[in-house]
Structure 1
Amino acid sequence: MTRVVIVSARVGAGHDGAACELARRFRERGMRVDRLDFLDLLPGRLGRILCGFYQRQLTVAPRSWDWLLALLGTRVIAGLARRFARLATPGLGEVIDRDVVLTVSTYPMATHTLAHLKAIGGLAAPLAVYLTDPSVHRLCISPLAQLTVAPNEIAADQAQRWGARRTVVARPLVAPEFRPPRSWAERLRARAMFGLPEGQRLALVVSGSWGVGHVESIAADVAASGQAVPVVVCGRNERLRERLTAAGFRFVLGWVESMPELMRACDVVVQNAGGLSTSEALATGLPVLTYRCLPGHGRANAAVLDAEGTVPWVRRRADLEPALTRALAAGNTEPARPAPVAEVAS
């Protein structure tokens, strides 16, 4: 059986989400798929430490992510990061053998581990890189990858400037469950599922699987706009959930397994990072706004999504109310077409 290896990382949910959907589509084509986590390939507890540091950084000192990304954009520091990625090479080499016909990376550091394995002759299969963010950082690209899949034309241009070889543009990978409601009755059933009111406009506030950023301020500003009632998803951040509940917000959720139904229950999405949740919302036919976005990749993603006209970036509190008014008036959009697996597999 044809074997594909996909390497991701549990850093947030975006990289894993893309890997999961890509694996599903390959399996539908009769292929055997192995999904690996870059963090588990690192020696000892290094992967757990790295993941914990990143989460604490975004939670405690998010502005430092701007500085770190800037440093990682320099030639010297980027080179050191690539050397760090090589620490996962022995672990990866143990699971790569001759029956692998394609390797795919959905996480930048995994890209450089696979590229190093290819450079030293330990990987004969082609390497494809799937870019999960609308914007492209220097570390996302390796010239040793035979294919780089970008989510938009701006990202494709950025990737080529960083040295990507063959680059194609495909819609973001989103599970088929993320689709518009087929009827108003289906939307009402979704609202009943989560105990949401039937006759009010609902703004789904999302901030990634870790619930990071100025989430409380976003929810308060949405409520103060008078345009929609905030429905806040806190992900795995239980402290955030407790604070919002104590502050009197009525609709506060933790980790949500049935996100497609929740999105079909709502009228607009307000997000702060431009990652997987944004793609899922657009596939569900919801208008999306970026507001109080995260530093670093959050701002970079917001700029690209705004420039291509997909998701407006609301930069000031005073602009939120008219932006919500426009988004709600626009209503649902056409769901995005799925990324063609053939482009990745070829």
Structure 2
Amino acid sequence: MQRRTSVAVISGSFGAGHDGAAAELARRLQEQGHAVHRHDFVDLLPRRTGVLLRGLYRRQLTVAPRTWGWLLALAGSERFGRPAAALTAAADDATLAAVGGADLVVSTYPLASQVLGRLRREGRLAAPVVTYLTDLSVHPAWVADGVDVHLALHDDTARQAKQLGAPDVRVVAPAVRPAFQRPGPSLQREVQALVVAGAWGVGQVERAALDIAGTGLAVPVVACGRNDPLRRRLNRSGRIVALGWVDDMPALVRSCRVVVQNAGGLSSLEALMAGVPVVTYRCLPGHGAANAEVLDRIGWVPWLRGRADLAAGLRAALDGRTAFTPSPVQPETVIAELAVTS
């Protein structure tokens, strides 16, 4: 590296996926000698607007997840564009104040990318902007005019981003912690099927776990995240092992034979990087279904669309068959090159 550069990383604490990717990218860039400053988009919105939006999002996924799918579909339409632009514009000044001195800005959250793209278009932000696409499916909100480079995790994702107008898209490997990529001790040798539902433990988790138990092929172990009511309810069933917040997820993932997921986010990529087969079952509406479709299409994670598919899908996964082939290009390499040349 020719000089010490400053990189600002903006995520969004709506679940743990965006933050997880941001944290790993920040760690890698710091190892390379960059000065990295992280920001949460929630904190950049004025008067606790971000906190309220995060609470509403979590409530929606917990109580009425189907409405999230409807809202996400509406968000891709023109009639939604004006109120969305007004909402994100409220974060313009705070975002500029937070990242204005950086040599390069990285976003792992779509609304942050919208703000950064607008600041670039208006000439208010001089630093190049990179969007790291945490999803395999690209929603229109992910692609903001003005963003210089988009990083995609697969050729299919890159194609989607280009169709939505992204001018420069590069395919990179997932930003997953090294602990998932190297051998290590396991927490529970008896675990066979690990059911993950994000940090909030949302979706049809209980039904999925009971369906798995009903096949007789695996003992369902559910990582409930911070959803303590779900953990207590599942443990009363007598057929499911329900865990609360797990500090050592790499060891837990390595101790299972298959991971069953419902959102297609960071947990799926972590398991795949650990060499553990993953299946999608009873996925969340909206981004969950969209990611499931792409993951199934590219051959990384089969989508088991109903109970009739579950037993055969689990058998195939337990046989260890997977077609996961990440790009050899690391995201921090691309980011570092852009930061140095900016």
**What TM-score do the two structures reach when normalised by structure 1?**
0.92
Q: Report if the CA contact (8 A) 2:210-2:240 is conserved.
A: no
Alignment check: 8 A CA contact 2:199 2:224 kept: yes
Q: Residue 220 of structure 2: SS of its match in structure 1?
A: strand
Mind listing any 5+ residue stretches in structure 2 that lack a counterpart?
Answer: none
Which of 190, 201, 206 in structure 1 is aligned with 2:186?
Answer: 190
Number of the residue aligned with 2:16 = 13
Q: 2:88 aligns with which of 85, 89, 98?
A: 85
* 1:264 and 2:267 are equivalent in the alignment: no
Please state whether the residue corresponding to 2:166 is helix, strand or coil: coil
How many residue pairs get matched? 333
Residue 313 of structure 2 corresponds to 323
**Structure 1 residue 332 displacement after superposition:** 7.6
Give the superposition deviation at 1:101.
0.9
SS of 1:163's partner is: coil
SS at match of 1:222: helix
Q: Write the distance in 1 (CA, Å) between the matches of 2:285 and 2:322.
A: 29
Residue 210 in structure 1 maps to residue 210 in structure 2? no
Match of 1:311 in 2: 301
CA distance, structure 1, for counterparts of residue 226 and residue 122 of structure 2: 39
Flag the 1:285–1:216 CA change in 2: closer, same or farther, 3 A. Answer: same
Equivalent residues in 2 for 1:148-297, closer than 5 Å:
148-179=150-181, 181=183, 189-191=185-187, 196=188, 198=189, 200=190, 202-297=192-287
Partner Cα separation in structure 2 for residue 294 and residue 310 of structure 1: 18
Match of 1:343 in 2: 334
Length-normalised TM-score, structure 2: 0.93
Q: Percent identical across equivalent pairs?
A: 49
Counterpart contact for 2:193–2:219, Cα < 8 Å: yes
Partners of 2:135 and 2:264 within 8 A in 1: yes
Counterpart amino acid of residue 127 in structure 1: V
Q: Which residue of 2 aligns with 1:126?
A: 128
Counterpart mapping for 1:59-98 below 5 A: 59-98=62-101
- Greater CA drift, 125-134 or 110-119: 110-119
Question: Distance between the aligned counterparts of 2:66 and 2:243, measured in 1?
Answer: 26
- Show CA shifts across 1:215-250 (max 9, x none): 001110111111111110001111111110122245
- Which residue in the other structure is 2:114 paired with? 112
Note the C-alpha offset of 1:344: 2.7
- Aligned partner of 1:35 among 29, 38, 43: 38
Contact 1:286 1:333 in 2 (8 A): no
The whole-number CA distance in structure 1 between the counterparts of 2:191 and 2:109 is 36
How many angstroms does 1:340 deviate by?
A: 3.5
Contact 1:283 1:335 in 2 (8 A): no
Give the deviation of 1:75 after TM superposition: 1.6
Give the letter for the 1:65 counterpart.
Answer: W
Q: Which residue of 1 aligns with 2:50?
A: 47
Alpha-carbon distance, 1:330 to partner = 2.2
Compared with structure 1, are the counterparts of its residues 338 and 214 closer, same or farther at alpha carbon in structure 2 (3 Å cutoff)?
farther
Q: Secondary structure at the match of 1:343?
A: helix
* Shift in Å, 1:255: 1.1
Are the counterparts in 1 of residues 116 and 146 from structure 2 also a CA contact under 8 Å? no
Please, which moves more after superposition, 315-324 or 70-79? Answer: 70-79
